[in-house]
Amino acid sequence: MEISYTPIGRVRSPYDTPEDVIHDEVSETGGEVVLEEEYEAGLEGIDGFSHIVVFAHLDEINESQLTARPPHVDDLEVGVFATRSPHRPTPLAQTVVELLERDGTTLRVRGLDLVDGTPILDVKPYVPLVDEEDVSVGWFEDR
């Protein structure tokens, strides 16, 4: 089965290539999520959220791997589905960013880890679940 999506917008970012993204510094990286004009009504009410979840297609990722080495964890290799590695069988990104401002279909954000021009597939408000405090984060707990 083949599934296809039409992007609803693009990212404006200071990063030109995936190699330019410095993951230790993205918490301060500013950028914009710019949706097509036809989706402006869909952004009504998003301004009230401090953070949003951006779903994107990693169109510059050309290879996938079934295992990955997480950054900052020595001598650990795990399955790609247990990581946030971009080198996935389906190069789909999910990233949470701080929403600073909305101007029409432009969302100014901080914490962006996507390359300039990355196609946006969806935007959702970030809503932490209060009743899910007892969670396990696998190998990440040792980080």
For tokens 């589905």, the residue is: 81
Domain spans of the chain, in order of start: 9-60+90-130
pLDDT in tens, 19-77: 888 877 878 899 999 999 999 999 999 999 999 999 999 987 778 777 878 777 778 88
Which CATH homologous superfamily contains domain 9-60+90-130?
YaeB-like (2.40.30.70)
pTM of the full structure = 0.85
Q: The dihedral of CA 3, 51, 104, 48: what is its sign?
A: positive
Give the separation between CA 27 and CA 111, rounded to whole angstroms: 4
